[in-house]
Amino acid sequence: MRRAALVYDDALSRHVYRPDHPLKPVRYRYTYELLEAYGVFGFDNAEVIPPDDATDDDLRLVHDPEYIEAVKSLSRGERRFNPGRYNFSDWGDNPVFPGMYEASRLVVGASLKAMELVIEGTFPVAFNIAGGLHHAMPNRASGFCIFNDPAVVIAHLINRGYRVAYIDIDAHHGDGVQYIFYSTDQVLTVSIHESGRFLFPGTGDVQEIGVGRGRGYSVNIPLAPYTDDELWLWAFDQVVPPLMEAFRPDVVVAQLGVDTHRDDPLTHLALTTCGFIEAVRRIISFSPRLVALGGGGYNLRVVPRAWALAYAEFAGIELPDDVPTRFHELVGPRLRDPVPKPMPDSLRADIRDFARATVELVKQLVFPIHGL
């Protein structure tokens, strides 16, 4: 029987970036409440664990002390620091909002709690749906991300001697995590995403493979807009399982953004909840221990369904497709998406060619470094 922890407290979902901001933390509460409505937490193998706050020492593992102090000060409404220096602005992706330091510190603390539960052996998998803020850089916010919780978790793990693989299936390239570990062979970072030619942050090309000892340990699988379940999973299967077999991580940290969905308003991929959960199953299959994190996802009818499916999969629980009635208005009547209409043959051929070219180049540049 699988056991899985959901690291959650309503405090993770209360902050608001800005009323019109696309990242809405209320999606975490919706996910939790949907799982609760299904009765998931009545099973012995599913448990909700509250998070603890991260400390500034935790944050300093990847973030500059000055940046941490700036976030703390700006969060209090002080004017000691210039927001623009740290990529904050009232109108952009990264607005300053009251309590942002406390909210962001709690997200990192929730991811660290998931890590501790996994490495102490209490649970083989723990999921922080509020985590996965993979764009934050050591000295600045980026892409809705203030502190980089996946990187803090990974830094803790490698400091304790663990061999770590980071798998990022968000539609956006996991640039912050890649940047922080670009020169080490202690971490294998793999990001499968919509190509930066079409989408923020504009990075994540196949040729970004790491430097020095890290050469070959940063892996990118950029895909074309409108890539669907079948082609996405084909590209994943061609690259990720062989690398996992060669690298043999002790712990996998997975960023499970669901902005790959065909109805996401900010991206251009065409996955369904069915394709997403197939990706989750693959990650489970090669993860000896798994720290699962949330990430992108900006359609509030999609995110709770996808992450509820993921958590149920972690716990080995089969959820009925009929959504509890009181959630119909919020997420719709069905948990799983219907089969999409076939795309035109000419478009499919172009997308397939793009995926094939990406996979072949990854195999040329990265596989030999790992003896593949």
Residue 200 in domain: no
Indicate the pTM of the whole model.
0.98
Counted domains in the chain: 1
pLDDT digit string, tens, across residues 88-100: 999 999 999 999 9
Rounded CA-CA distance 130/9 in Å is: 10
Active site residue 135: yes
Domain encompassing residue 138: 4-176+248-345
> Confidence class of residue 341 from pLDDT cuts 50, 70 and 90?
confident
Number of Cβ atoms within 10 Å of the Cβ of 248: 11
Number of Cβ atoms within 10 Å of the Cβ of 11: 17
Say what the pLDDT of residue 17 is. 97
Average pLDDT over residues 216-238: 98
Nearest to 52 by CA among 3, 100, 112: 112
pLDDT digit string, tens, across residues 123-155: 999 999 999 999 999 999 999 999 999 999 999
Amino acid code (one letter) for 63 = H
Confirm if 352 and 231 have CB atoms less than 8 A apart.
yes
pLDDT digit string, tens, across residues 268-327: 999 999 999 999 999 999 999 999 999 999 999 999 999 999 999 999 999 999 999 999
What percent of the chain is predicted at pLDDT more than 90? Answer: 98
Say what the pLDDT of residue 370 is. 98
What percent of the chain is predicted at pLDDT more than 70? Answer: 100
Say what the pLDDT of residue 2 is. 83
Nearest to 264 by CA among 273, 274, 255: 273
Average pLDDT over residues 70-81: 97
What are the backbone dihedrals phi and psi of residue 364, each rounded to the nearest 5 degrees, phi first? Answer: -70, -45
Over the Cα atoms of the chain, what is R_g?
19
Residue 25 in domain: yes
Residue 182 in domain: no
Say what the pLDDT of residue 257 is. 98
Say what the pLDDT of residue 25 is. 98
Say what the pLDDT of residue 342 is. 86
Residue 203 in domain: no
Residue 233 in domain: no
Say what the pLDDT of residue 371 is. 98
pLDDT digit string, tens, across residues 17-48: 999 999 999 999 999 999 999 999 999 999 99
- Helix or strand holding residue 293 (H, E): strand 290-293
β partners of residue 251: 164
Residue 214 in domain: no
Rounded CA-CA distance 258/270 in Å is: 11
46 CB burial (10 A radius; 0-12, 13-18, 19+):
buried
Report whether pLDDT(1) > 70.
no
Say what the pLDDT of residue 339 is. 87
CATH of the domain at 295: 3.40.800.20
Rounded CA-CA distance 97/327 in Å is: 30
What is the rounded average pLDDT for all residues in the chain?
A: 97
Residue 243 in domain: no
> Catalytic: which of 135, 172, 193, 268?
135
β partners of residue 142: 145
The CA-atom distances, in angstroms, between 133 and each of 129, 153, 168, 365 are 10, 12, 11, 28
53 CB burial (10 A radius; 0-12, 13-18, 19+):
middle
Residue 172 in domain: yes
Rounded CA-CA distance 266/24 in Å is: 13
Average pLDDT over residues 4-16: 98
